[in-house]
């Protein structure tokens, strides 16, 4: 095989409960996660020596600190392989938004290289390696609808969530995940758990119940410094979303709706300059459906050098 092309999908946290701090410094979480059809494209071909990263986004590092490079190195190390690769990333998932774009690229890299290098590792083995790269990588490898526990590495798959669409609003504010967790630790503990109720609603196929159960322990922290978060939620709910919640450490805010038409209508309305100006100039708005997997292989091909170069301009 010359190259493999993968869709690396974003995730949203429909719930995120922080249960405590672990002795290893990580937080113990319980989170209902959902893959959505907003995806980066990751193209992996033979290359080297070493791992080469190319990206069309100035916001992601093109060196060994890129999560895709870290995943490739972790995989090579765990297999004792001394193989190279060229990894090209076309970014569509907003960076540092709480949508796990970096983890999605890492997951796609693990799945893609497992095939390209002919390693034959199981998903379980890839999940173990992925957990060392980032807390969201295990979910991104399996994806769909699932509850993540531990620091994110213990995945319980749920039935696919159907008949639901999301409007995702990403305001142009910078949020550091590490800072948000640090500030959360300093807050007086008001532990709230949403995951059990949300999970029950999924098993019961009760979308209204799910919409009411959405919740994120980190939201109060990010919203305290960024009033846009509460404002976006208000706007989404006022325009007909059944429920709304911040994803991850933010700043992306998700509105849950029942149909594609409602999602498109809300997207159109809040993209109008008047309303966008009310919460943040330059906020990006996406309409997404649910996806049943985190990574999808789009193409496997024997490719020549000409085809490889042409990929960027396609």
Catalytic-role residue among 11, 70, 151, 233: 11
- Taking CA atoms, 255 is separated from 24, 67, 198, 231, in Å, by 34, 28, 15, 12
36 forms beta bridges with: 290
Ranges within 113-152 binding ligand ATP (CB under 6 A): 136
Q: Looking at beta carbons only, is 12 or 198 nearer to ligand ATP?
A: 12
- Interface residue with ligand ATP, options 97, 218, 221, 257 (CB under 6 A): 97
Query: In the annotation, is 179 catalytic?
Result: no
Q: Is 96 in the site for ligand ATP (CB under 6 A)?
A: yes
Q: Is 41 in the site for ligand ATP (CB under 6 A)?
A: no
Q: Is 105 in the site for ligand ATP (CB under 6 A)?
A: yes
Taken as a whole, the chain contains a residue count of: 314
- Interface residue with ligand ATP, options 3, 32, 102, 287 (CB under 6 A): 102
Mode of pairing for the β-strands spanning 3-13 and 27-46? antiparallel
The nearest distance, CB 159 to ligand ATP, in angstroms, is: 25
Q: Is 87 in the site for ligand ATP (CB under 6 A)?
A: no
Q: How many other CB atoms are there within 10 angstroms of residue 120's CB atom?
A: 9
The stretch among 58-66, 143-151, 153-161, 184-192 that binds ligand ATP (CB under 6 A) is: 58-66
Residue window 282-311: x/- pattern of binding to ligand ATP, with contact defined by CB under 6 A: ------------------------------
Comparing every residue's Cβ against ligand ATP, the nearest one is: 102
The nearest distance, CB 164 to ligand ATP, in angstroms, is: 21
Query: In the annotation, is 11 catalytic?
Result: yes
DSSP letter string, the chain = --EEEEEEEEEEESEEEEEEE-TTSPEEEEEEEEEEEEEEEEEEEE--SSEEEEES-TTS-SSTTSHHHHHHHHHHHHHT----EEEEEE--SPTTSSS-HHHHHHHHHHHHHHHHTT----HHHHHHHHHHH-TTHHHHHH-SEEEEEETTTEEEE-----S-EEEEEE-S----HHHHHHHHHHS-------HHHHHHHHHHT-HHHHHHH-EETTHHHHHHH-THHHHHHHHHHHTT-SEEEE-TTSS-EEEEES-HHHHHHHHHHHHSHHHHHHH-TT-EEEEEEB-S-SEEEEEEE---HHHHHHGGG-
The nearest distance, CB 295 to ligand ATP, in angstroms, is: 13
Q: Is 248 in the site for ligand ATP (CB under 6 A)?
A: yes
The nearest distance, CB 249 to ligand ATP, in angstroms, is: 5
Residue window 149-188: x/- pattern of binding to ligand ATP, with contact defined by CB under 6 A: ----------------------------x-----------
Q: Looking at beta carbons only, is 242 or 295 nearer to ligand ATP?
A: 295
The nearest distance, CB 137 to ligand ATP, in angstroms, is: 9
Q: Is 74 in the site for ligand ATP (CB under 6 A)?
A: no
Q: Please report, as ranges, the residues that interact with ligand ATP according to CB under 6 A.
A: 60-61, 66-68, 89, 95-103, 105, 136, 177, 248-249
Q: Which residues are catalytic?
A: 11, 136
């Amino acid at each position: 095989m010359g190259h493999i092309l993968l869709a690396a999908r974003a995730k949203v946290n429909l719930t995120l409960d922080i249960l405590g701090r672990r002795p290893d410094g990580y937080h113990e979480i319980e989170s209902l996660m959902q893959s959505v059809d907003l995806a980066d494209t990751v193209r992996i071909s033979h290359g080297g020596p070493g791992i080469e990263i190319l990206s069309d986004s100035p916001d992601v590092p093109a060196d060994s600190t890129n999560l895709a490079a870290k995943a490739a190195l972790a995989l090579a190390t765990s297999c004792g392989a001394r193989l190279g690769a060229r990894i090209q990333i076309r970014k569509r998932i907003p960076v540092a938004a709480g949508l796990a774009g970096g983890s999605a690229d890492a997951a796609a890299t693990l799945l893609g290289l497992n095939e390209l290098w002919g390693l034959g590792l199981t998903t379980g083995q890839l999940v173990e390696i992925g957990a060392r790269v980032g807390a969201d990588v295990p979910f991104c490898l399996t994806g769909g609808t699932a509850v993540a526990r531990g620091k994110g590495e213990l995945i319980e798959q749920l039935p696919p969530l159907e008949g639901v669409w999301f409007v995702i609003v990403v305001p142009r504010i910078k949020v550091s995940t590490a800072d948000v967790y640090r500030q959360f630790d300093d807050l007086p503990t008001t532990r709230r758990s949403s995951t059990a109720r949300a999970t029950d609603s999924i098993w019961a196929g009760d979308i209204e119940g799910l919409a009411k159960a959405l919740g994120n322990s980190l939201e109060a922290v990010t919203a305290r410094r960024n009033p846009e978060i509460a404002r976006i939620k208000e706007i989404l709910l006022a325009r007909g979303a059944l429920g709304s919640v911040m994803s991850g450490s933010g700043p992306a805010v998700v509105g849950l709706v029942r149909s594609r038409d409602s999602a498109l209508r809300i997207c159109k309305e809040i993209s109008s300059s008047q309303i966008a100006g009310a919460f943040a100039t330059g906020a990006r708005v996406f309409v997404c459906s649910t996806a049943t997997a985190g990574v999808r292989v789009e193409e496997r091909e024997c490719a020549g050098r000409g085809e490889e170069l042409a990929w960027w301009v396609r």
